[in-house]
Amino acid sequence: MLILGLDPGLRNTGFGLVEADGNRLRHVADGVVSTDDSLSVASRLAALHTALAALLAEHRPDEAAVEETYVNRNPTSTLRLGQARGVVLLAPALAGIPVAEYGAMAVKQAVVGYGHADKDQVAMMVRRLLPAASLRRADAADALAVAICHAHHRATRRAWAASR
């Protein structure tokens, strides 16, 4: 099962691909899709969609997971993040890939075991769980954390379904 984790942002959208085989996780790829600040918002959203569509076509994940939006103090930033998140949700959906959504606390709980963990703790646990990951950018580490969260939740849901 190949899982694509996505950490949405208009400037930088992190992605992380994890292969889940039962309880085993293997790093496949990670990185960041960046957009040019000098372009219009519409052009940046289009560029984000094009890059995600190429990523999906290259790796063909079975499922995707996206981190839910948190509200900033700055309403303009929150709106732009929401627009980018819409594109991040849309791209895998258009490719016929099921998309799950997780809040930041759920991701931290699944990866670190503590829902209020800081970014450094999350990155450290991602490195432990996926030693082959490069994690050059925090956005990529966050995306891998979302993929790990989805793998854990997916396994739990399957175990519950099997026990019924």
As annotated, the active-site residues are 7, 67, 139
Contacts of 135 (CB under 8 A, 6+ apart): 30, 123, 126, 127, 141, 144
Q: Is 60 left (phi over 0), alpha (psi -120 to 50) or beta?
A: left
Q: Tokens for 150?
A: 């989805």
Nearest by Cα to 84 from 98, 73, 72 = 72
* Strand 2-7 versus strand 99-102 pairing type: unpaired
